[in-house]
Amino acid sequence: MRYFIFLVLYLLITSISSYPQNTLPEWAKGIVWYQIFPERFSNGDKSNDPAAEKVFSNDTFIPPDWKVSMWTSNWFEQADWEKNLGGKFRDRILQRRYGGDIQGIIDRLDYIKELGVGAIYLNPVFDAVSLHKYDGSTFHHIDINFGHNPSHDEEIIKKEVPDLPTTWIWTSADSIFLKLIEEVHNCGMKIIIDGVFNHTGIQFWAFQDIVKNGERSKCKDWFIVHSFDDPSTSKNEFDYKGWWGTKFLPEFNRTENDLNSGPKQYIFHSTQRWMDPNNDGDPSDGIDGWRLDVAREVPIGFWRDWRKLVKSTNPNAIIVGELWELSPDYISENGVFDALMNYNFAFAVNDFFIANKKQIKVSEFIDKLKEIDITYPQVYLDVLQNLVDSHDTDRLLSMIVNPDRGYNRDADERNTNYSPAKPYAIHYEMQKLIAVFQMTYRGAPMIYYGDEVGMWGAIDPHDRKPMVWDGLSYDDEVINKESGFKKGFGSYKVEQNIVLLNFYKRLTHLRKNNLAIQKGTLNFLYSNDEKKSFVFERKLDDNWFVIAFNLGDISDSISLYFDEQKISYEEVLSGEKGSFISKDKLGLNFEVNIPSRSALVYRIYSIKD
């Protein structure tokens, strides 16, 4: 059997070894991404809501009065079961479930499409105990509570031999996920999912086989086991490596350059299952790519082989790595990924747009952006995921409320100066400026679900509140000392900020309808450290935009020289129109007054006589 496994893996890898590495999907260039945290996006089927037995699978005690939390309830109000368990407020939040599921995402696809989104990134969807699903119990089944019939799905899964793909069956959760893929594609959008291939949860089937069978387990080499249990003693000697010391997340076994052959083969089969579900050689019924969790912690040799598999299955699939640092070793012609979550973009935005006392100069901001540009080959710049926040950070609006901390630093109740309060109008205006920059700059901008309607929140778990939907009536968010925070006390109305939502829609559709903004050239035309202003242009053939920002307290009047005889323009945010004509037939000066704390987006038309 072991010889057969090695033979299958060898043939699989060698059969795709000649596939070119540097294939970038054209569809991903400049596209608008939307990140969804499935458990908190929309509850489309209340009949599949999680049961306490699953939520507390890793615990010795199941609260008898536990129940799914009401979607519209006050985030900071504890349910009776939370109060009875005691402990810190944040400890109980992690045991809450709100019932978000795949049907909920399907039901909201019209909303996502109208928002101007081109591609969806889903946080983990595979069956797992936690709310975040980074502790997978399997990689070849969608979470049973995301489908229509959890109990039936659970029985189906028990009949399988999990390391034998020929025994795998499609559950109701799997089927509705395939329906989601189909509906996303019908809407003209793409969809990728999270791949967590460094570690699993302790309920992962192979890990449980080790728990039950110890050193006799057929999966004994799958994980980094320090010692097996000795049945002849009363003590449990079983010990293993958990990710960053977290025992709930056991790490796969590996060499310096590759994962162990057991998990590697299983991951390969699972990858193919979701990329070409009916295995007919046509990947149109499968996902359009992957976002890879803690990518640098997985041996790069594994990624090289895995990339070949992905690209041979679907040459137009995208591979996005979670890499917080500049990573030319992963993103290059000979690299293993197509793109990364561009946190260096977020760092720069934080240091200039959000920081107050620690705000960097305009010239330093531009230098940070140019550092990204020179780190990667030109062709990759248009597919980098330009995010500002995510499920791993506090929300954008709360960053703006709490400046000068450094990106993703001191963003919870342990910081006595951190305020989880609802933002003021001035904070929403700053978000608009950031949105203008994000949606007009180079790369592929990504919106974290709810940012577009004004959701706020500290870092995990507070950045993972239920999505705020129009048409639902939400309890006020009441923050007091019981929250653990020391600031931001008050009662705050929770509702969609429709003005902000419409503003995002204008920007995303502007981007979607103009190739210059999606993947045109980018040149900085002007910057002024003293006035905190800068201007850049995006251009592709005759599609031409000039975008200006002023974060200072006074207006900045500037003149930009263009080698044109005559131009007309429209400032797309205000609707202002005008024209300029050359006085000397050599060129013309485009006169711009940038008001304080504002952004201007000019569509420029070259007029030929």
- 23 located within any domain: yes
- Report the number of secondary-structure helices (H) and strands (E) in the chain: 17, 22
Burial of 147: CB neighbours in 10 Å, binned 0-12, 13-18, 19+:
buried
| Whether residue 187 is found in the same domain as residue 236 | no
- In which residue are the tokens 């200072």 written? 552
Q: How does pLDDT run across 71-100, given as a tens digit for each residue?
A: 999 999 999 999 999 888 888 899 999 999
| Whether residue 581 is found in the same domain as residue 543 | yes
pLDDT of residue 609: 72
Range of the domain at 563: 520-606
Q: How far is CA 107 from CA 44, 100, 152, in A?
A: 7, 11, 23
> Considering 507, 532, 551, which residue would you say is the last residue of a domain?
507
pLDDT of residue 451: 98
pLDDT of residue 88: 84
pLDDT of residue 547: 98
Q: Tokens for 567, please give them.
A: 């131009």
pLDDT of residue 23: 80
Closest CA to 197 of 339, 60, 299: 299
What CATH number corresponds to the domain at position 212? 3.90.400
Looking at 82, 322, 389, 452, which residue is catalytic?
322
pLDDT of residue 86: 87
Measured distance CA(190)–CA(291) in Å, rounded: 13
Whole-number mean pLDDT of the chain? Answer: 95
Peptide bond into 461 cis (omega under 30): yes
> Using an 8 Å Cβ cutoff, are 56 and 95 in contact?
yes
Pick the more confident residue, 90 or 346: 346
Measured distance CA(439)–CA(63) in Å, rounded: 46
Measured distance CA(500)–CA(386) in Å, rounded: 20
Torsion angle defined by CA atoms of residues 279, 383, 341 and 529, in that order, rounded to the nearest 10 degrees: -170
| Whether residue 74 is found in the same domain as residue 142 | yes
Measured distance CA(447)–CA(596) in Å, rounded: 26
| Region 495-508 average pLDDT | 98
Measured distance CA(471)–CA(468) in Å, rounded: 9
- In which residue are the tokens 């101007």 written? 116
| Region 259-274 average pLDDT | 98
Letter for the amino acid at 598? S
Q: Tokens for 256, please give them.
A: 């310096």
| Region 250-259 average pLDDT | 98
| Region 451-479 average pLDDT | 98
What CATH number corresponds to the domain at position 602? 2.60.40.1180
pLDDT of residue 2: 43
| Region 558-570 average pLDDT | 95
Q: How does pLDDT run across 195-215, given as a tens digit for each residue?
A: 999 999 999 999 999 999 999
Q: How far is CA 238 from CA 227, 243, 418, in A?
A: 5, 16, 41
- In which residue are the tokens 């608009």 written? 432
| Whether residue 216 is found in the same domain as residue 333 | no
SS3 9: helix
Closest CA to 548 of 531, 568, 563: 531
Q: How does pLDDT run across 151-181, given as a tens digit for each residue?
A: 999 999 999 999 999 999 999 999 999 999 9
> Using an 8 Å Cβ cutoff, are 490 and 483 in contact?
no
| Whether residue 600 is found in the same domain as residue 467 | no
pLDDT of residue 400: 98
Check pLDDT > 60 for residue 4.
Answer: no
Letter for the amino acid at 122? L
- 513 located within any domain: no
| Region 109-120 average pLDDT | 98
In percent, the amount of the chain with pLDDT more than 70 equals 96
Check pLDDT > 90 for residue 39.
Answer: yes
- 292 located within any domain: yes
pLDDT of residue 378: 95
The phi and psi torsions of 326 (rounded to 5 degrees) equal -60, 130
CB atoms within 10 A of CB 355: 17
Measured distance CA(407)–CA(550) in Å, rounded: 22
Q: How far is CA 432 from CA 279, 306, 401, in A?
A: 45, 39, 14
- Please tell me the total count of domains within the chain: 3
Looking at 293, 460, 477, 556, which residue is catalytic?
293
- Say whether 322 is catalytic: yes
- 525 located within any domain: yes
> Considering 456, 472, 507, which residue would you say is the last residue of a domain?
507
Check pLDDT > 50 for residue 60.
Answer: yes
| Whether residue 348 is found in the same domain as residue 234 | no
Model confidence band, residue 563 (pLDDT cutoffs 50, 70, 90): very high
SS3 459: coil
Check pLDDT > 80 for residue 333.
Answer: yes
- 369 located within any domain: yes
Model confidence band, residue 22 (pLDDT cutoffs 50, 70, 90): low
Model confidence band, residue 608 (pLDDT cutoffs 50, 70, 90): confident
What CATH number corresponds to the domain at position 317? 3.20.20.80
Q: Tokens for 480, please give them.
A: 């007091």
| Whether residue 408 is found in the same domain as residue 534 | no
CA atoms within 13 A on the CB side of 365: 27
Check pLDDT > 60 for residue 3.
Answer: no
In percent, the amount of the chain with pLDDT more than 90 equals 94
| Whether residue 23 is found in the same domain as residue 144 | yes
| Whether residue 183 is found in the same domain as residue 38 | yes
- 225 located within any domain: yes
- Say whether 293 is catalytic: yes
How many angstroms from the chain centroid is the CA of residue 570?
34
Buried/exposed code over 78-109 (b: 16+ C-beta within 10 A; e: otherwise): bbebbeebeeeebebbebbbbbbbbbbbbbbb
Residue 436 makes CB contacts below 8 A (sequence gap 6+) with 507, 547, 549, 573, 599, 601
- 326 located within any domain: yes
Closest CA to 55 of 87, 90, 93: 93
| Whether residue 55 is found in the same domain as residue 189 | yes
Check pLDDT > 60 for residue 8.
Answer: no
pTM for the predicted model, two decimal places: 0.95
- 179 located within any domain: yes
Residues forming a β-bridge with 601: 547
pLDDT of residue 5: 43
pLDDT of residue 24: 94
> Using an 8 Å Cβ cutoff, are 526 and 507 in contact?
no
| Whether residue 413 is found in the same domain as residue 525 | no
Check pLDDT > 60 for residue 295.
Answer: yes
| Whether residue 594 is found in the same domain as residue 469 | no
Radius of gyration over alpha carbons of the chain, in Å? Answer: 26
